[in-house]
Chain A
């Protein structure tokens, strides 16, 4: 396990390098140079400022040297300053991460709370009304665009019924109950959509497990159906479900851009979206790099957990 873990960590290096090159190439692909943007906002002696900034950002050097320089700083957490707020990008991004993690993890927990019982029940009572309902609902959940579902929720619960605020954010550490009010709609929008995927998966892996021989054996030995399902089958069927939920969580950390902007949720996705609108290129660059890094590491953690849960998988 240790050797495998180390090898997987070593494999992360080239992946992260490819990611960093892509993100670096993105800024290179922009027209003009960053100096023009900066000089335009600073005023004063333009030529002198231009020369100083060119040197400061290392733009007088060849591209591969600049990449190494940029990467070296990025590894130390120095992404430069935001063009808009003038604050260090690392602080800007760090302050946004908790909100996204909060929303994404509650959303995923919610989706599992819906999906696991529903998927299990659908598999056990195959071809029953519950099964069809589960299948139709999950197919609908996959096909409904999340932003449409979200604004329909806002329309119903905020505008017509007035039960919940339509957008906003309160930190759970300041006011836990108050923050829940703001959390419910976005988390439900995430939870419903992700549950659609997880329900299908739970159902099919449950069907897989139920058709295996050990289930017949357990039944033949006279174990109750309840015990067969909850103690033996469900445990095995949960392995892919947990894995996929982990991957969904990783993807959500970077994928909640749309919901975060609908609900004015101050997460990292919204930070990147705002940066795009304000043409804050260094922030976009750093944001994508950080999120990519988080996703790659999360994927590794999920993979390792999967192997811990499922010792039959060989460490190839």
Chain B
């Protein structure tokens, strides 16, 4: 957050003066405390941040937090209610639901984060460069973006999943295909946003100043303009993370994600449907886990928008 603040304050020629570089650890501590200070301005953002810290903590700590092997079946302990041994009970194959939730979440969050990061890595330079150069590059670039945006809802993922199935891909490769599809689908939003901001920033004096000093076009576009459009990108990426988690869960709910027995919130929920009438709790936990995760990203994104966009915050 302190980085962001600095970018906001820096204007015109000030951008040239590199700040003195203190010890990295001290800088990180300051950055974190500044970030927390900023976050406290919005209650939504603070709640979201706390929820996210818990979520990421659970994802990182999964191997230590999990009490059972998430895949190991135990027919003698099928469909048990929550107990001391099985914190959230067991599913239809006697697997520990709590441990499956942890491992499933770790996988889901990783997929979402990688996919969104990848869409940023592809989309932002794409939008910045097309916007900066304009002309033919812009026209062609934006038509590609429009074409990608024309794929409604889940269809793009369905195409990718079909290809993955036809090639009989297994394990990690399915996730790779899924991540690429998600990144490709998320790319237009980032590209458009970056392009729009570049078109606005391009006119400003500091860009002209850089050009006058003799910086190359690409370096101006990436090093001068990019830092100025980071706030909207962070906000959309956060919200997009929640959205991506919903999509991945929906795909595996349809049986088009990673095949069983891999722990997965979507497919676990789908499998629990058959036992819903007698054991509704089994279906409740994965659903609640998805809700919690998506809500955390949405709250954080919403709050962040209020903080970063002063126009809205005034209300």
- Report if B295 contacts A (CB, 8 A): yes
Chain B, interface SS category: helix
A151 to B286, CA, bound (A): 13
- Report if A59 contacts B (CB, 8 A): no
Q: Are A292 and B150 in contact (CB under 8 A)?
A: yes
A209 to B153, CA, bound (A): 31
Q: Are B159 and A26 in contact (CB under 8 A)?
A: yes
- Report if B242 contacts A (CB, 8 A): yes
Q: Are B152 and A250 in contact (CB under 8 A)?
A: yes
Q: Are A147 and B253 in contact (CB under 8 A)?
A: yes
Instruction: Tell which of A75-83, A229-237, A254-262, A302-310 binds the partner.
Output: A254-262
- Residues of A near B162 (CB, < 8 A) are 26, 30, 276, 279, 281, 284
- Residues of B near A207 (CB, < 8 A) are 315
Q: Which of chain A's residues 131-146 have a Cβ closer than 8 Å to chain B?
A: 139-140, 142-146
Produce 1/0 per residue, B252-270, CB < 8 A to A.
Answer: 0110100000000000010
Interface size, A (range): 35 or more
Tell me the number of A-to-B contacts counted with CB atoms below 8 Å: 142
State the interface size on chain B (CB cutoff 8 A).
Answer: 42
In-complex Cβ contact of B290 among A26, A145, A254 (8 A): A145
Produce 1/0 per residue, B75-91, CB < 8 A to A.
Answer: 00000000000000000
Instruction: Tell which of B8-16, B21-29, B276-284 binds the partner.
Output: B276-284
- Report if A272 contacts B (CB, 8 A): yes
Q: Are A22 and B153 in contact (CB under 8 A)?
A: no
Q: Are A155 and B152 in contact (CB under 8 A)?
A: no
- Report if A29 contacts B (CB, 8 A): yes
- Report if B155 contacts A (CB, 8 A): yes
Using CB atoms, name the residue of chain A closest to B44: A139
- Report if A301 contacts B (CB, 8 A): no
Q: Are A257 and B254 in contact (CB under 8 A)?
A: yes
Q: Are A18 and B277 in contact (CB under 8 A)?
A: no
Using CB atoms, name the residue of chain B closest to A258: B250
Q: Are A143 and B166 in contact (CB under 8 A)?
A: no
- Report if B199 contacts A (CB, 8 A): no
- Report if A296 contacts B (CB, 8 A): yes
- Residues of A near B155 (CB, < 8 A) are 254, 257, 272, 288, 291-292
Q: Are A15 and B143 in contact (CB under 8 A)?
A: yes
Using CB atoms, name the residue of chain A closest to B299: A139
Using CB atoms, name the residue of chain A closest to B146: A15
Q: Are B153 and A254 in contact (CB under 8 A)?
A: yes
Other 14 A-B pairs with CB < 8 A, given A11-B146, A22-B148, A159-B276: A15-B143, A18-B148, A19-B147, A23-B159, A142-B298, A143-B295, A144-B291, A144-B294, A145-B253, A250-B152, A254-B151, A254-B155, A279-B165, A299-B150
- Residues of B near A152 (CB, < 8 A) are 287
Q: Are A155 and B277 in contact (CB under 8 A)?
A: yes
Using CB atoms, name the residue of chain B closest to A160: B277
- Residues of A near B154 (CB, < 8 A) are 254-255, 257-258
- Report if B246 contacts A (CB, 8 A): yes
- Report if A173 contacts B (CB, 8 A): no
Q: Which residues of B contact A (CB under 8 A)?
A: 143-144, 146-148, 150-155, 158-159, 161-163, 165-167, 242, 246, 249-250, 253-254, 256, 269, 273, 276-277, 280, 283, 287, 290-291, 294-295, 298-299, 302, 312, 315
Q: Quote the shortest CB–CB distance from B226 to chain A (angstroms).
A: 26
Q: Are A29 and B147 in contact (CB under 8 A)?
A: no
- Residues of B near A30 (CB, < 8 A) are 162-163, 166-167
Chain A, interface SS category: helix
Q: Which residues of A contact B (CB under 8 A)?
A: 11, 14-19, 22-23, 26, 29-31, 139-140, 142-148, 151-152, 155, 159, 204, 207, 211, 250-258, 261, 269, 272-273, 276, 279, 281, 284, 288, 291-292, 294-296, 299
- Residues of B near A147 (CB, < 8 A) are 249-250, 253, 269
A148 to B245, CA, bound (A): 13
- Residues of A near B299 (CB, < 8 A) are 139
Q: Quote the shortest CB–CB distance from B134 to chain A (angstroms).
A: 15
- Residues of B near A11 (CB, < 8 A) are 146
In-complex Cβ contact of A273 among B143, B148, B158, B246 (8 A): B158
In-complex Cβ contact of B291 among A16, A145, A204, A258 (8 A): A145
Q: Quote the shortest CB–CB distance from B23 to chain A (angstroms).
A: 40
- Residues of A near B165 (CB, < 8 A) are 276, 279
Q: Are A291 and B276 in contact (CB under 8 A)?
A: no
- Residues of A near B291 (CB, < 8 A) are 140, 143-145, 148
- Residues of B near A145 (CB, < 8 A) are 246, 249-250, 253, 287, 290-291, 294
Q: Are A31 and B152 in contact (CB under 8 A)?
A: no
A204 to B166, CA, bound (A): 46
Q: Quote the shortest CB–CB distance from A299 to chain B (angstroms).
A: 8
Q: Quote the shortest CB–CB distance from A45 to chain B (angstroms).
A: 27
Using CB atoms, name the residue of chain A closest to B144: A18
> Which of A159, A207, A276, A284 counts the most chain B CB atoms within 10 A?
A276
Using CB atoms, name the residue of chain A closest to B151: A292
Q: Are A292 and B152 in contact (CB under 8 A)?
A: yes
Q: Are A139 and B163 in contact (CB under 8 A)?
A: no
Given A144-B291, A155-B277, A258-B254, A18 and B269 touching (CB < 8 A)?
A: no
Q: Quote the shortest CB–CB distance from B253 to chain A (angstroms).
A: 5
- Residues of A near B249 (CB, < 8 A) are 145, 147
Q: Quote the shortest CB–CB distance from B291 to chain A (angstroms).
A: 5
Could you list some 11 contacts between A and B, CB below 8 A?
A: A11-B146, A22-B148, A142-B298, A145-B249, A145-B287, A147-B269, A155-B283, A251-B152, A254-B153, A257-B154, A276-B161
